[in-house]
């Protein structure tokens, strides 16, 4: 199922993007993953998730932690907004795996950090079926 | 016998927007059949064509992931709670773990 139509700019607090980058560097060469929730389209909090795969080529949210986090967000009337993860040997662009999972994961935006080079690369996307659209990240 | 089923945002189109609904069943499989009779189509989002739990969803009984219990044969009793969540995975290569 595709997620609701979204604007082509993703506004995020600078410190959240910085936290995602720090998380990606810390877990390198494994992939990191996490959630940014929102209320009424405004980012509210970032939660670092445990990558149950602990793998350099994939991530899966730890299922027990995800239940706890989802419930907290839902109880606070926040919604899944951005799922972020890292690619540690390839570019910051959705893989086939990302595209497949995006259909059902329920996040309007995918933020991908690449840690393959010394300089971090961070890009954001909406994924609707097989259609990947890059969105500008606006730091607030 | 009544069991509360918590539904994630992405599946609330099947429940008229409700966050939680009631259903009945002695096992998770029975509960999903009952759920589908009240909210047509939701079964197709939970089970594969072969009738197995879909790798794209997590289902919990009393906060335990059913993959670590009895999957669809997990027994249920009055007052249990069931939570459905989208599984979240991805990454640069093929994702091996989710749905296990």
pLDDT in tens, A58-99: 999 999 999 999 999 999 999 999 999 999 999 999 999 999
**pTM confidence score:** 0.91
DSSP assignment letter at B10: G
Going by pLDDT thresholds of 50, 70 and 90, the confidence category of residue B94 is low
Whole-number Cα distances in Å, B50 to B43, B60, B68: 12, 21, 20
pLDDT in tens, A98-139: 999 999 999 999 999 999 999 999 999 999 988 999 999 999
- List of residues 6+ apart from A42 with CB closer than 8 A: A11
Question: What six digits make up the tokens of A12?
Answer: 């995020």
Rounding to the nearest 10 degrees, give the CA dihedral for residues A47, A51, A57, A58: -80
Q: What does the pLDDT read at residue A8?
A: 84
Which of B13, B57, B88 is most worth mutating to test chain A (most A CB atoms within 10 A of its CB)? B88
Q: What does the pLDDT read at residue B65?
A: 97
pLDDT in tens, A12-54: 999 999 999 999 999 999 999 999 999 999 999 999 999 999 9
d(CA B17, CA A122): 34
Does residue B48 sit at the A interface (CB-CB below 8 Å)? no
Point out the residue among A49, A58, A66 whose CB comes nearest to the CB of B96: A58
Point out the residue among A66, A74, A89 whose CB comes nearest to the CB of B88: A66
- CA atoms lying within 13 Å on the CB side of residue A49: 30
């Amino acid at each position: 199922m595709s997620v609701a139509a979204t604007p082509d700019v993703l506004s995020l607090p600078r410190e959240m993007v910085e936290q995602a980058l720090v998380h990606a560097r810390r877990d390198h060469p494994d992939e990191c993953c996490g959630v940014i929730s929102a209320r009424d389209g405004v980012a509210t909090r970032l939660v670092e998730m445990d990558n149950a795969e602990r793998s350099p080529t994939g991530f899966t949210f730890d299922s027990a932690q995800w239940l706890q986090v989802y419930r907290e967000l839902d109880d606070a009337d926040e919604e899944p907004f951005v799922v972020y993860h890292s690619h540690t040997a390839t570019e910051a662009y959705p893989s086939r795996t990302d595209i497949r999972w995006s259909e059902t994961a329920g996040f309007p935006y995918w933020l991908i950090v690449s840690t393959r080079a010394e300089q971090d690369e961070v890009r954001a996307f909406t994924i609707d079926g097989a259609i990947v659209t890059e969105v500008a990240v606006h730091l607030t | 016998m009544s069991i509360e089923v918590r539904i994630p945002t992405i599946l609330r189109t099947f429940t008229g927007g409700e966050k939680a609904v009631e259903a009945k069943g002695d096992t998770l499989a029975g509960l999903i059949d009952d759920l589908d009779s009240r909210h047509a189509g939701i079964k197709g989002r939970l089970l594969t064509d072969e009738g197995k739990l879909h790798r794209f969803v997590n289902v919990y009984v009393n906060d335990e992931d059913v993959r670590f219990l009895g999957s669809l044969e997990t027994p249920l009793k009055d007052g249990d709670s069931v939570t459905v969540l989208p599984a979240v995975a991805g990454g640069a290569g093929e994702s091996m773990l989710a749905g296990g």
